[in-house]
Amino acid sequence: MEVYKFGGASVKDAAGIRNVGNIIRLNAEKDLLIVVSAMGKTTNALEALTESYINGENSTHSLFEEIRQYHHSVLAELFEDESHPAFDEIENTFIEIEWMLEDDPHPGYDFNYDQIVSIGELLSSRILSAWLNHVGFKNKWLDARGVIQTDNTYREGQVDWTKTCKAIEVMAPILKDQFIVTQGFIGGTSENFSTTLGREGSDYSAAIFASCLNAEKLTIWKDVPGVLSADPKLFSDTRKYSELPYSEAMEMTYYGATVIHPKTIKPLQNSGIPLLVKPFLNPEEEGTIINETAAVCKDFPAIIVKQHQVLASISTKELLFITEDHLSEIFKAFAMAHIKINLMQVSALSFTVCFDEEKEKFNALIVALNNSFKIKYNQDLQLITIRHYKPDTIDQLSSGKIVLMEQLSRNTAQLVLK
Ligand code: ASP
Ligand code: MG
């Protein structure tokens, strides 16, 4: 069997959903489990709804109505007959949320977030499942919250692999005579609350399903031809990799390549399942294959850009040499503020560190360090990572900009630019 994952862009409207139907038609002989993200920018819209609900703002109702209208209009375009059961299914999902919005929020922002934001995938998967049934692809809609078992770390649910695989394996026989359509990004706790696995986590869900079912292959259908050497929205001269080894793909996601969620590759590598990244608009193209044996391509550099970076320089108040004791105190503060360090450098009197700008976490860091350390920082910077760089790539990328920090290793160059 194989697992297919369709992202938000591929199901953003009725035409997108029909296109998914066509891709299934081309592969109808396979046993497929299909994982789908929320439609278009629904997750962002649900995040805004959560924020408004928790802050008790007047916009809550109109934000909710907009999301409801969007899904309703896609359904209405797909199914002329408004008595189709999909209309009721979607409406019922909205009614549940409406009830919740009428109550006071529970304590804990993240808990509320997950109960609300998780409906994006419930809606998209209901619509896709109904459409596929309608066009003759018999399928079962599976509630991922009943199989992807997580702890109660809301917004970053940690998967209990043993329980999850057991629950998924039970579903396997269904695939013999029908497809399964399920949700990415969401899971459930042992108390039956919804959790989410972190933004863009649907790829990770697909990898979990593939791994527990020991799939032959996982295909992620994207709006790009495959894994590219750089983001085509930022660079005009990008190249597509025909193949990548797992390790290289993992490194690229670590440095911030957004084409695949960083947690996706490891479970596939553990089970030796190849990952195919293919364009949903040209399904016959070959895309990029990621596996154990692929060769690393060093012919052209891979460029990964992270925006909204902070570069902070941390020194002791008495201007002492930076010792291991200081470093351990500093790292503890980063860990407690849940800030992931993207790049760092120690010098005699200061420790310089680059990380994503997230206001609340940054404030927590400053509070934690304030007693013993002085912090100076620059905001709104760019971190560029270049894998397999050539000397002129660095010059080209930094031309006209100020390089605030530079670090080179044999394969990787990193620049913090202003
Ligand atoms: N819908 C979720 C998000 O936008 C998960 C995903 O798309 O992978 O983050
Ligand atoms: Mg998405």
Q: Tens digit of pLDDT per residue, the chain (418 long)? A: 999 999 999 999 999 999 999 999 999 999 999 999 999 999 999 999 999 999 999 999 999 999 999 999 999 999 999 999 999 999 999 999 999 999 999 999 999 999 999 999 999 999 999 999 999 999 999 999 999 999 999 999 999 999 999 999 999 999 999 999 999 999 999 999 999 999 999 999 999 999 999 999 999 999 999 999 999 999 999 999 999 999 999 999 999 999 999 999 999 999 999 999 999 999 999 999 999 999 999 999 999 999 999 999 999 999 999 999 999 999 999 999 999 999 999 999 999 999 999 999 999 999 999 999 999 999 999 999 999 999 899 999 999 999 999 999 999 999 999 9
Exposure string over 226-242, b if 16+ CB within 10 A, otherwise e = bbbbbbeeeeeebebbe
Amino acid letter at 234? L
Distance 129 CA to ligand 1 centre (A): 18
Taking the C-alpha atoms of residue 330 and residue 353, their distance in angstroms, rounded to an integer, is 10
Residue nearest to atom 5 of ligand 1 (CA): 200
pLDDT of residue 363: 96
Decide: 183 and 121 in contact? Cβ < 8 Å.
yes
Ligand 1 pocket, residue 184 CB under 6 Å: yes
- Cα 23 to ligand 2 centroid, rounded to whole Å: 19
Q: Tell me what pLDDT residue 391 has.
A: 85
Q: How far is residue 377's CA from residue 240's CA, in Å, rounded to a whole number?
A: 37
Strand (E) or helix (H) holding 282: none
Q: Is residue 38 lining ligand 1, measured as CB closer than 6 Å?
A: yes
Nearest CA to ligand 1 atom 7: 200
CB of 204 within 6 A of ligand 1: the answer is: no
Which pLDDT score is estimated for 371? Answer: 94
pLDDT for res 143:
98
Domains of the chain, start order: 2-215 (3.40.1160.10), 302-417 (3.30.2130.10)
Q: Which of 71, 123, 200 to probe ligand 1 with, by most ligand atoms within 8 A of CB?
A: 200
269: enclosing H helix or E strand: helix 265-271
202-212 and 161-171 helices cross at what angle (nearest 10)? 70
How many Å lie between the centroid of ligand 2 and the Cα of residue 7? 5
**What is the distance in A from the centroid of ligand 2 to the CA of 201?**
8
